[in-house]
Amino acid sequence: MDYVRPRYRTGSNMNMSRRKFVSHATIGLLGGAAVSRGHADDATGKSEPGQKPLIVSTWPFGKPANDRALRILQQTGSILDAVEQGIWVTESDAKNSSVGLSGTPNAAGVVQLDSCIMYGPGHKAGSVAAIEGIVHPISAARRVMEKTRNVMLAGEGARMFALEQGLESVPVHSRRLYREWERRRMAERKRSSKVGKQNHDTISLLVLGADGNLAGGCSTSGLGHKLPGRVGDSPIVGSGLYVDNEVGAAGATGLGENIMRYCATFLIVELMRQGLHPTEACMAAIRRIARAENRSGDDLAINFVALDKQGRYGAAGTNKGFRYAVTTLSESRVLPNPAASVAFR
């Protein structure tokens, strides 16, 4: 495949001191404009420092989640409530075959879910892995963060904890009841005309609050027909999700095995710390993974969204059809993948 040069510099080809200068000069020039627009240029995927609050999520199905998150933020002022209840929208969507209990089952015919939540102030995190029968794994992850001294619970222990916390569930120990429930959900999904290529993979949702604090969450049923017990990137802090209240946040969607081996969202946040724009940071992380894998990117199936403390946002993905949703007080949009024509090697 021909290499198509992106229209901006990346961390690897831009001199560090110049990068810092450009970045700081840009922030200096734009930072004074308190109500800067924050639009991403569709060609480059680069946004200016933007409005707060700002919500960014993966895939077009992230848009209704963002819209809900914004409403919750306006009602409660809580960035954690916004993340949790925004993600509820996707987890509850019977048409979605890769998030929540409507997700594609594993090789044993059981839906096992992964989810993570992070809260910038105090650098808090909670996650659940391979959890069964819980309608909102993001809430289980939040409870792990808020109600235990742990960060991650997995499998049956995670399910028991979620039940103890009173979270909504479906029976998993009665195969008959579970199958009945599953049949109903599948029938509901089939009736929908919206089932299609867009209906896949993880919701990662990031929130920058009006006060400058950050939170994020992600939720997925993971790889369809995966080995029972297989855990992807989503519940792993720094892989599927990372939030650093000083810098920004990043979330992932795609093939977990290609994300978790590189702690990709941690890497993206660290690249933003060095001054890269969120889109540049996502691009640079993909480029680094592609180089290490000696692959052009097409078959890596890794996609990222990111936002920084200044209210800039961005994304990049190796899936040409990857898109992401951005929501502010003034608008809510689905944007194209800024890397759609980039070969990463």
**Residues involved in catalysis:** 202
> Is 254 near ligand GLY (CB under 6 A)?
yes
48 Cβ contact partners less than 8 Å away, ≥ 6 residues apart = 30, 36, 37, 38, 39, 312
Supply the Cα-derived Rg of the chain in whole angstroms: 19
Q: How many Å apart are CA 312 and CA 253, to the nearest integer?
A: 20
Q: How many Å apart are CA 100 and CA 266, to the nearest integer?
A: 25
Minimum separation from the CB atom of position 114 to ligand GLY (A):
6
> Is 255 near ligand GLY (CB under 6 A)?
yes
Q: Which of residues 302-321 bind ligand GLY (CB under 6 A)?
A: none
Query: Is the CB of 49 or the CB of 235 nearer to ligand GLY?
Result: 235
Query: Is the CB of 10 or the CB of 319 nearer to ligand GLY?
Result: 319
Q: How many Å apart are CA 268 and CA 306, to the nearest integer?
A: 8
- Using the contact rule CB under 6 A, the part of the chain among 170-178, 179-187, 251-259, 279-287 near ligand GLY is 251-259
Q: DSSP secondary structure string, 91-147?
A: HT-TT-SSSGGGSPP-TTS---EEEEEEETTTTEEEEEEEE-SBS-HHHHHHHHHHH
Residue from 62, 209, 256, 317 binding ligand GLY (CB under 6 A): 256
- Using the contact rule CB under 6 A, the part of the chain among 116-124, 252-260, 267-275, 313-321 near ligand GLY is 252-260
Residue closest to ligand GLY (Cβ): 232
Query: Is the CB of 77 or the CB of 224 nearer to ligand GLY?
Result: 224
Contact characters 116-155, ligand GLY, x per CB under 6 A: ----------------------------------------
In single-letter form, the type of residue at position 175 comes to R
Token duo for residue 168: 């909504």
Nearest to 220 by CA among 141, 282, 161: 141
> Is 279 near ligand GLY (CB under 6 A)?
no
Minimum separation from the CB atom of position 46 to ligand GLY (A):
25
Task: Kindly report the backbone phi and psi dihedral angles of residue 257, in degrees, each rounded to the nearest multiple of 5, phi listed first.
Answer: -60, -30
- Return the SS3 of 11: helix
Contact characters 196-235, ligand GLY, x per CB under 6 A: ------x-----------------x-xx--------xxx-
Give Cα 169 distance to the centre of its chain.
24
Query: Is the CB of 127 or the CB of 202 nearer to ligand GLY?
Result: 202
Minimum separation from the CB atom of position 149 to ligand GLY (A):
26
- Interacting residues toward ligand GLY by CB under 6 A: 202, 220, 222-223, 232-234, 253-256
